[in-house]
């Protein structure tokens, strides 16, 4: 049978990764079958092995690449900044934006770690630790400077990350809540939560004047 035009070489790998992200996001790694994935890409299951080595490796690559990218871009965004409050605001903005833009990759990187083989798991957890460490450091600096007031830096780190990652599981583009509103709301929550003075940055205050009554959510 003639093969589908346009799925040669590296393009096929990209198609596999893309379909993989979607299928893992939708069904979970365990529940996704390589036959499904192959069908999505338009090839036979066996042909996948011209592009990936194992199903496990596909997951590992997707997760690892995601976190590496996350870390690289975060460092880019923070480059040259010194004020803890500004850095925290940048962190919040970056994290929320990035997670809403690539919610599927994020979701996978958070919820499918369990399916990683021990060796792969450790690699990924180390990377994740580095990313978390950036936030911990910001908080520690801020507390040292007296800019933040938190009960426990470790807890605060986890809590803020949990809070900021939340939207990636309910955000729907085109819904009632715009990215900007979500970002503003989380920025306020975090900065208030750590006791940062926010008076200087007028936008937050302004944002809080928007209507906020709607009880109907957009979760599916």
Residues that bind DNA (CB under 7 A): 1-4, 7-10, 12, 32-36, 42-51, 54-56
Site for its own copies in 29-58 (CB under 8 A): 30-31
Site size toward its own copies, by CB under 8 A? 62
Buried b (16+ CB within 10 A) or exposed e, 179-199: eeebbbbbbbebbeebebebe
| Contact mark string toward its own copies, 163..182, x via CB under 8 A | x-xxx--x-----xx---xx
Write down the least CB distance from residue 57 to its own copies, Å.
17
**Closest separation between CB of residue 173 and its own copies, Å?**
15
Taking the C-alpha atoms of residue 143 and residue 84, their distance in angstroms, rounded to an integer, is 9
Question: CA end-to-end span of the chain, whole Å?
Answer: 41
45's contact among its own copies, DNA, none, with CB below 5 to 8 A by partner kind, is: DNA
CA pair distance 63, 201, nearest whole angstrom: 35
Minimum CB separation of residue 76 from its own copies in Å reads 23
10 Å CB burial of residue 95 (0-12, 13-18, 19+) is buried
**Quick one: 75 or 175, whose CB is closer to its own copies?**
175
């Amino acid at each position: 049978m003639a093969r589908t035009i346009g799925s040669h070489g590296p393009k096929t790998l990209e198609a596999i990764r893309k379909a993989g992200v979607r299928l893992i996001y939708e069904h979970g790694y365990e529940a996704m079958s390589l036959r499904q994935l192959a069908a999505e890409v338009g090839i036979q299951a066996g042909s996948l092995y011209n592009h990936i080595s194992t199903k496990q490796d596909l997951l590992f690559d997707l997760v690892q690449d995601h976190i590496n990218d996350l870390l690289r871009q975060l460092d880019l965004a923070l480059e040259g900044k010194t004020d803890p409050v500004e850095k925290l605001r940048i962190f919040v903005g970056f994290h929320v934006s990035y997670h809403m833009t690539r919610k599927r990759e994020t979701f996978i990187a958070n919820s499918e770690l369990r399916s990683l083989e021990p060796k792969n798991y450790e690699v990924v957890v180390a990377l994740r630790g580095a990313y978390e460490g950036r936030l911990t450091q910001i908080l520690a600096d801020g507390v040292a400077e007296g800019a933040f007031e938190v009960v426990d830096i470790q807890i605060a780190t986890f809590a803020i990350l949990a809070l900021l990652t939340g939207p990636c599981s309910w955000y729907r583009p085109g819904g009632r809540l715009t990215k900007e509103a979500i970002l503003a709301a989380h920025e306020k929550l975090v900065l208030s939560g750590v006791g940062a003075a926010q008076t200087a940055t007028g936008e937050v205050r302004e944002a809080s004047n928007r209507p906020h009554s709607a009880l109907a959510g957009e979760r599916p």
